[in-house]
Chains A and B, each alone.
Chain A
Amino acid sequence: MLEYTIADLEYYNHIIEEAADKFGLDCYPQEFEICNYEDMLSYEAYSGMPSRYPHWSFGKAWERKKTFYRYNLIGLPYEMVINSDPCLAYLMKENTLALQVLTIAHVYGHNDFFKNNRLFKNGTRAEYAPEMFKSHANRISDYIADPSIGYARVERILDAAHALRFQVYRISNEKHLSPDESKKILMDKYYQSELNESPLIKDKKGEGVPDWDKVPLQPEEDILLFLLRYARLSEWEKDIINIVRSEAQYFIPQMETKIMNEGWASFWHYKILNHLNLPQSMHLEFIKRHNQVIASHPGTLNPYHLGFKLFSKLERESEDSRRIFDIREQERDVSFLRRYLDEELCRELNLFEFQKDNDDYVISEISDEPGWKRVRDTLIMNVGLNGIPIIKVKEIGSENNLVLDHEWDGRELLEEYAHHTLKYIARLWGHKVRLRIHGALKVLVSDGD
């Protein structure tokens, strides 16, 4: 028996919405779906989307989460919110009323973040999100049902595209040039400098005219895009790759703002609920739950905690109450941490850096005066897309062999994974693929499966 009615939720939602409005949150219309444990598990496995194309990785995600919940390795989420307009959120039916109230307030924080953060605003189209996923699901189902294509071939392409979907441009929001456009810019630059140089210097350089037809003209970071342009793929294969690519594009802003987004939502549920004058028993439970959500455990970085601390501190220290709103609009985790994670907070959170030393891990840096910057920078190297190696398509070599480079920053690739991923590139490319890793000290080669 539930300890609340929909009417209760509507009542609390109403006063939360009023508070959110008063505080200046700017949200999409909100929709809540109350669902049970099984539904929640499914939504989680499919990233909250009401429809998604079939793939075993979602089945795996489901099994995995189920296993984790069964062994209590992680708790079930209280809610899920998806970036859509109207904003769609799922609430666990079994939650207590106090937890639902907290969750509803939390959801409005995410909602505001989705609507206003620059990455979401420019990188995703919230009003079409559920329809986009639905249409992708339909297209893929059609290919599966098509007797000339079928499940196995669709899966082969999906597997390969999944493996490469986060190999994307790191600077989002910068206009992406087509090959022709970037060629024009490079040519202009080249001939411009040619005009300005004295013949003497030019002779010294001794370089010929660049090969303007080289593919790619400049190393290409977006591997799927490169393959779409230059690999010999049939239309349905291209369509599947496009589907996977556009879904990845939709999720990337979430990867890039995990700390901010959770921090912002936690900051607001805390602020709103304190403002509501809840009955005491409810308030006590709310405080307890809130502390669980933002708890920090040594050894694990809790994005809720870090984000909550940062926004709370920023609010405390800002004279203009709109400042935190500007920050939530402009930043992503990388810039957010770089600008606002200071020595004081690093110290307060006891952040430290560890590194592998032979078979052991050692503490390599701590958050004291000489060390905190490095701790912060290492943390930055691990958030969002920074945690994913940069691999660039360098050139098409002899016999159509594709040459790729790993942009080395001292962090080694996990070779076994790299090798398998390379197989997928070879599968789509149709010829041999070489990847130079560890500063080109080593080359991995694959000719597919």
Chain B
Amino acid sequence: MAIFRDYDSSGGRDRSAEDRRRHRQLVEDSIKKNIGNIIAEESIIGKSKDKIIKIPIRGLREYQFIFGKNRPGVVPGTGDEKRGDRYEGAAGSEGQGTGEGAGTAEGEDYYEIDITLEDLVEYLFEDLELPHMERKKFSYIETEKTNKRWGIQRKGIPPRLSKKRSMQERIKRKKMVERSYREMDVEIDNERFPFSEEDLRYHRIKEELRPQSNAVVMCLMDNSGSMYQDKKYLARSFFFLLYQFVKYRYVNVELVFINHTTTAQEVNEDEFFHRSESGGTFISSAYEKALEIIQERYSPEVWNIYAFHCSDGDNWQADTPKAIIKANELCSQCNLFGYGEIRLTGRYYQSSVTILDKFKTSITADNFIAVSIGSKEDIWPAFKQLLTVTDKE
């Protein structure tokens, strides 16, 4: 006769918790290693930081010798199969492996993990070993006052009255009075025992100034006719990273978007990425606009300024000397000024000498960097390159 055991008693234990934690940790490590690819995914660009995104993660692979896809398989069909017909269902027919997870097939190990964009950015920057960023002299401007309760005091203003402590004081006083009355054998007058001035207690408030640091990210982009949507997409990924990065370092981060063709204008984020205009390119116009905005609203005395410009490098020849002058000027105002040239490899006509080369030779400021981006795989390396630039004091 078989034995039956009701195993309800096991409710509390979570046997696999530790092994899951370890697996999860290894998966996270692998996310970090592949973060460049994840960040370039279109789906996460432009989402808010609290947004929970689901990244399909391959469970950590358990490598062993297995056959590739060229091995033939056998499955049941409907009976209508004919030799030589295309077979559509093959993807799902893997896994004739049996027992003990012994994969004889590669197995689809995808599962989803939930992660906030913020966490993702944490991962991103955690392992970068960022150079210590110099803060602006006034980067901690103390803007915000917080009122924090800090004990109890006898004097104060009515709004800070602590009812509880005042009540306690009153009870103490009452007990004292009662005791002394008893000792003096005086009959106790039970009727009233009003609060007296000396019962009252007030919260002590400490005024605190919270340091706040300010930064502005200036996104400059060429939206002339030759900046096709796919180039803008790459630029956008790059701006996204830059913004996340600056946000990671500073409490208060503002964004400025400047579009330019031959003239420049400040626009909002949506226009920035979606507006397209025909016409030529005067890069200098964007730099002038940026300098103007800095002067008006973001004094370098108080603000950490990160400016980045994306273009396909196809500048009007005559404008280039001016652009170089203005770029140098921007370098003197910004913590970092970067130029990213989007060159889709071998897809469109590119002028042989682009402004990237000119910038590289004519701008020597330490806080300038010029990078070239050809595909989404380049974004993360280019971004890392950007971070090697010494921040200007």
Chain A contact residues, CB within 8 Å of chain B: 6, 9-10, 13-14, 17, 29-36, 38-39, 41-42, 45-47, 54-64, 67, 86, 90, 93, 155, 162-167, 248, 251-252, 254-255, 258, 296-301, 303, 305, 349-356, 360-366, 371, 375, 378-379, 381-384, 387-389, 391, 406, 411-415, 417-418, 420-421, 424
Specify which of B74, B86, B102 is in contact with A351 (CB 8 Å cutoff): B74
Please report the C-alpha to C-alpha distance between residue A136 and residue B204 in the assembled complex, in whole angstroms.
63
Whether the pair B78, A350 counts as a contact (CB closer than 8 A) is yes
CB of B346 within 8 A of chain A? no
Specify which of A17, A352, A381 is in contact with B2 (CB 8 Å cutoff): A17
Whether the pair A60, B23 counts as a contact (CB closer than 8 A) is yes
Whether the pair A353, B74 counts as a contact (CB closer than 8 A) is yes
Contacts of B109 in A (CB 8 A): 60, 64
Whether the pair B62, A29 counts as a contact (CB closer than 8 A) is no
Binds A, one of B14-22, B252-260, B363-371: B14-22
Known: A31-B5, A362-B84. A354 touches B93 (CB 8 A): yes
Whether the pair B82, A363 counts as a contact (CB closer than 8 A) is yes
Most buried by B among A14, A296, A389: A389
Chain A's closest residue to B111 (CB) is A67
Binds A, one of B39-47, B65-73, B172-180, B183-191: B65-73
Specify which of B61, B64, B77 is in contact with A298 (CB 8 Å cutoff): B77
Pairs across A and B, CB under 8 Å, 15 listed: A10-B4, A32-B3, A34-B6, A46-B15, A57-B60, A86-B3, A163-B64, A167-B65, A298-B76, A299-B92, A350-B77, A350-B78, A352-B77, A382-B71, A418-B65
A-B contact sample (17 more), CB < 8 A, given A60-B109, A351-B75, A406-B65: A34-B4, A34-B6, A34-B8, A36-B10, A54-B22, A63-B23, A63-B59, A248-B100, A255-B99, A298-B75, A350-B78, A354-B75, A355-B72, A355-B73, A362-B86, A414-B68, A421-B64
Q: Which of B288-306 contact A (CB under 8 A)?
A: none
Whether the pair B99, A254 counts as a contact (CB closer than 8 A) is yes
Whether the pair A387, B67 counts as a contact (CB closer than 8 A) is yes
CB distance from B277 to the nearest CB of A (A): 42
Contacts of A251 in B (CB 8 A): 99-100, 102
CB of B197 within 8 A of chain A? no
Whether the pair B111, A64 counts as a contact (CB closer than 8 A) is yes
Chain B's closest residue to A167 (CB) is B65
Whether the pair B111, A59 counts as a contact (CB closer than 8 A) is no
Specify which of B22, B62, B67, B89 is in contact with A411 (CB 8 Å cutoff): B67
Please report the C-alpha to C-alpha distance between residue A447 and residue B39 in the assembled complex, in whole angstroms.
32
CB of B149 within 8 A of chain A? no
Known: A254-B98, A352-B75. A366 touches B83 (CB 8 A): yes
Known: A42-B16, A67-B111, A387-B96. A33 touches B7 (CB 8 A): yes
CB of B267 within 8 A of chain A? no
CB of B63 within 8 A of chain A? yes
Interface residues on B, range: 35 or more
Whether the pair A166, B77 counts as a contact (CB closer than 8 A) is no
Contacts of B61 in A (CB 8 A): 417, 420
CB of B88 within 8 A of chain A? yes
Chain B's closest residue to A437 (CB) is B65
Specify which of B15, B86, B106 is in contact with A360 (CB 8 Å cutoff): B86
Contacts of A46 in B (CB 8 A): 15-16
Whether the pair B7, A54 counts as a contact (CB closer than 8 A) is no
Please report the C-alpha to C-alpha distance between residue A56 and residue B25 in the assembled complex, in whole angstroms.
9
Whether the pair A62, B81 counts as a contact (CB closer than 8 A) is no
Whether the pair A163, B62 counts as a contact (CB closer than 8 A) is yes
Whether the pair B96, A59 counts as a contact (CB closer than 8 A) is no
Whether the pair B65, A296 counts as a contact (CB closer than 8 A) is no
Chain B contact residues, CB within 8 Å of chain A: 1-8, 10-11, 14-16, 18-24, 26, 59-79, 81-90, 92-93, 96-102, 104-106, 109, 111-112
Contacts of A166 in B (CB 8 A): 64, 102
Whether the pair B63, A417 counts as a contact (CB closer than 8 A) is yes
CB distance from A119 to the nearest CB of B (A): 12
Whether the pair B93, A300 counts as a contact (CB closer than 8 A) is yes
Known: A63-B111, A254-B99. A35 touches B82 (CB 8 A): no
Contacts of A414 in B (CB 8 A): 66-69, 106
Whether the pair B86, A361 counts as a contact (CB closer than 8 A) is yes
CB distance from A202 to the nearest CB of B (A): 40
Minimum-distance CB pairs A-B, first 7 = A387-B104, A59-B19, A258-B98, A59-B20, A361-B90, A420-B63, A59-B23
Please report the C-alpha to C-alpha distance between residue A13 and residue B3 in the assembled complex, in whole angstroms.
10
Whether the pair A45, B16 counts as a contact (CB closer than 8 A) is yes
Chain A's closest residue to B15 (CB) is A42
Please report the C-alpha to C-alpha distance between residue A59 and residue B62 in the assembled complex, in whole angstroms.
12
Whether the pair B77, A383 counts as a contact (CB closer than 8 A) is no
Chain A's closest residue to B93 (CB) is A299
Chain B's closest residue to A377 (CB) is B74
Chain A's closest residue to B80 (CB) is A350
CB distance from B230 to the nearest CB of A (A): 25
Whether the pair A366, B81 counts as a contact (CB closer than 8 A) is yes
Please report the C-alpha to C-alpha distance between residue A364 and residue B70 in the assembled complex, in whole angstroms.
13
Whether the pair B89, A299 counts as a contact (CB closer than 8 A) is yes
Please report the C-alpha to C-alpha distance between residue A414 and residue B69 in the assembled complex, in whole angstroms.
8
Whether the pair A47, B100 counts as a contact (CB closer than 8 A) is yes
Contacts of B87 in A (CB 8 A): 354, 360-363
Please report the C-alpha to C-alpha distance between residue A81 and residue B177 in the assembled complex, in whole angstroms.
79
Please report the C-alpha to C-alpha distance between residue A38 and residue B59 in the assembled complex, in whole angstroms.
20
Chain B's closest residue to A165 (CB) is B64
Please report the C-alpha to C-alpha distance between residue A424 and residue B61 in the assembled complex, in whole angstroms.
13
Please report the C-alpha to C-alpha distance between residue A299 and residue B70 in the assembled complex, in whole angstroms.
17
CB distance from A275 to the nearest CB of B (A): 18
Whether the pair B2, A353 counts as a contact (CB closer than 8 A) is no
Chain A's closest residue to B100 (CB) is A251
Chain A's closest residue to B113 (CB) is A63
Whether the pair A164, B74 counts as a contact (CB closer than 8 A) is no
CB distance from A128 to the nearest CB of B (A): 18
Please report the C-alpha to C-alpha distance between residue A414 and residue B94 in the assembled complex, in whole angstroms.
14
Contacts of B111 in A (CB 8 A): 63-64, 67
Please report the C-alpha to C-alpha distance between residue A330 and residue B270 in the assembled complex, in whole angstroms.
72
Chain A's closest residue to B71 (CB) is A411
Contacts of A57 in B (CB 8 A): 19, 23, 60, 62, 101
Contacts of A39 in B (CB 8 A): 7, 10
Contacts of B69 in A (CB 8 A): 356, 414
Contacts of A36 in B (CB 8 A): 7-8, 10-11
Contacts of A300 in B (CB 8 A): 75-76, 92-93
Please report the C-alpha to C-alpha distance between residue A85 and residue B183 in the assembled complex, in whole angstroms.
85
